[in-house]
Structure 1
């Protein structure tokens, strides 16, 4: 029942760890946080991947906390909670990183 939830948060955690300990060196087509704003220049690339790695780790921990709380309170069906937290977490990561890049380029 909660296997998919743990798998989803585990994937996000693994991506975050990989980005944190092996950040992509320079803009490349292989891996990294790739959006038009992050590939605009090397500074954007570095900032975007630094923030994304930390946010992936944070979202994965938040997903585990939500799972733990939901086991006791049953405020949401586990499948709905997984979809909400996984997709919401990914959306949050993109929103925060893109906002950071926008503010950085605005200055």
Structure 2
């Protein structure tokens, strides 16, 4: 369970974060990029959110890959606890990206 929920999801986060960092959306759109009410408020906020969230997404991806591999190879627990821990790590990884990005977007007028 750990290897699927966290390590593979973390690899996807790494890839998406890298692509968003390398090829950020230039204009505000509703298709590609970090989209929230605050990030779409201005072009300055949009550009900041793309750069900031893509770096956080890559860090979150590394965290998920590490926790997935660590959990897979070192924990011998029931399926319930394994899936609970893996889901918690996943929610934490996503939550950190959104929380910190939105917190930083408050600083942009």
For 1:37-76, what aligned pairs fall within 5 Å after superposition?
37-70=38-71, 71-72=73-74
Once the two structures are superposed, residues 66-101 of structure 1 have per-residue CA deviations (whole angstroms, 9 ceiling, x without a partner) of 223333255894322221111111111010000001
Q: How many residues align?
A: 105
Bigger shift: residues 14-23 or 75-84: 75-84
TM-score (norm 2): 0.84
Q: Where does structure 2 lack aligned partners over 5 or more consecutive residues?
A: none
For 1:1-107, what aligned pairs fall within 5 Å after superposition?
1=1, 2-70=3-71, 71-72=73-74, 77-105=81-109
* CA RMSD in angstroms, aligned pairs only: 1.9
Bigger shift: residues 60-69 or 35-44: 60-69
Runs of 4+ in 1 over 4 A off after TM superposition: 73-76
Once the two structures are superposed, residues 6-54 of structure 1 have per-residue CA deviations (whole angstroms, 9 ceiling, x without a partner) of 2211221121011011100110122111101000000000000101100
Q: Is the 8 A contact 2:53 2:101 kept in 1?
A: yes
Question: RCO greater where, 1 or 2, for CA within 8 Å and sep 6 or more?
Answer: 2
TM-score (norm 1): 0.85
Q: Distance in 1 between matches of 2:6 and 2:60?
A: 12
Q: Where does structure 1 lack aligned partners over 5 or more consecutive residues?
A: none
